[in-house]
Amino acid sequence: MTSPAPRLEELRRYAIARSLFKPTTLPAAIRKLGFVQADPMRAPARAQDLILRLRVTDYRAGELEQRYARLQIEEDCLVNYGFVERKTLALLHPREPREQWDEATHANARQILAFVRERGATHPKHVLEAFSHHGRMPGYWGGELNVGTQLLDGMHYRSQLRVLRRENGTRIYQHVQHPERDQSPEARRLRAEALVDMIVRLYAPLPSASLGYLATLLRLGAPDLQPEVRQVVKAAKQRYGHALVEGMTWFWPADENPRSKRHAPDDRLRLLAPFDPVVWDRRRFEAFWGWAYKFEAYVPQAKRTMGHYALPLLWNGRMPGWANLRLVKGRLEHEIGFVDGRRPTDAAFAQALEEELARMRAFLGVR
């Protein structure tokens, strides 16, 4: 007998509960998420820290970077750039990029690789001091980076280097040798299934269009597996739980039940990062909460409607607005916006907001 399809409200509660699990240790949280998206912008902290603070007990800004070398994790690309468990590297490397370097770039890279292999832990400045790779190139997040730094980034992507740690936000590189992989059709299929399973477990429940989009983004982390990934998505109804809800087909891990009564919302207010798994999928966000959240950090100030780095505000299963936070002379300042232009007047909201701001101050280590 087929169980009834979940209602949209049940899917919404399920999405919140499965992602905002009870805070745990940092390794356990990364293991449950599978991937933590990274972003260098601090507003008032980096995205990876804002994501983890809601899922790790007593987490503090910068803790991931401080503990990185002791954790079984790696900086790498999946659907975006971020952090994965070290065991995930076997699904991604050796990586054959879609864009090929010319011979001059390969020659420079070979010189740098020999230098890093001999030196060990290498700061980009060491490369710049040792080689005369002059000139400028566009950087990954905009602006410009020295050619030598750009080459290090490319060599990391091409499976020649790994990020050993960071110093004041700068990657320190080390040579790495990834083992050769089984490239048989069966092995490639299993890798593709494992990668699609990762994104389904991270972002479920997913509308079918969002599943297709995320699977396409896997061309960043596993560019050689696009045909196999497309086959996994094509067979998604045989692999994942699914249902047609309000005109959209939704997918989730087969071993989970979106209709479980355990997914009741709590009364804690949370300010979510723009790349938090709860809000990452803008299509799902609008279906769940009835309005379009916009990330406007790169929008000219005069054209912004929500602010430079608006954090969606989740309360009692609803998303009534957003907050912009900034540090001014060691104090946390905030501005709150509401979808309908009206602030909730009940005392419970005011108390929940102040408790979240207090948690944010503790996380940032400010008054």
pLDDT in tens, 146-175: 667 889 999 999 999 999 999 988 999 999
What mean pLDDT is predicted for residues 339-362? Answer: 93
- Give the mean model confidence (pLDDT) for residues 87-94: 97
Is the distance from CB of 336 to CB of 313 less than 8 angstroms? yes
Residue with tokens 């992989």: 181
DSSP structure class, residue 56? B
Higher-confidence position of 143 and 32: 32
CA 223 – CA 96 distance, rounded (Å) = 7
Please tell me the pTM assigned to this model: 0.93
DSSP bridge partners of 243: 250
Give the mean pLDDT of the chain.
93
Q: Which two tokens stand for residue 218?
A: 């896997």
Buried residues in 117-128 as b, exposed as e (16+ CB within 10 A):
eeeeebebebbb
Confidence at residue 150, expressed as pLDDT on a 0 to 100 scale: 85
Q: What letter would DSSP give residue 261? A: G
Share of the chain above pLDDT 90, in %: 83
pLDDT(125) > 80: yes
DSSP notation for 293-319: ----TTS-GGG-SS-TT-EEEEETTEE
* For residue 301, pLDDT beyond 60: yes
Over range 326-340, report the average pLDDT.
94
Average pLDDT over residues 216-237: 97
Identify the pLDDT of residue 355: 97
Pure H helices in the chain = 8-19, 26-33, 47-53, 63-67, 89-92, 103-119, 124-130, 147-157, 185-203, 208-221, 226-234, 236-239, 282-289, 347-364
**Mean per-residue pLDDT, 219-233:** 97
Question: pLDDT tens digit string along 194-209?
Answer: 999 999 999 999 999 9
pLDDT reported for residue 137: 44
Domains and CATH numbers, the chain: 103-175 (1.10.10), 265-364 (no CATH)
Average pLDDT over residues 250-256: 97
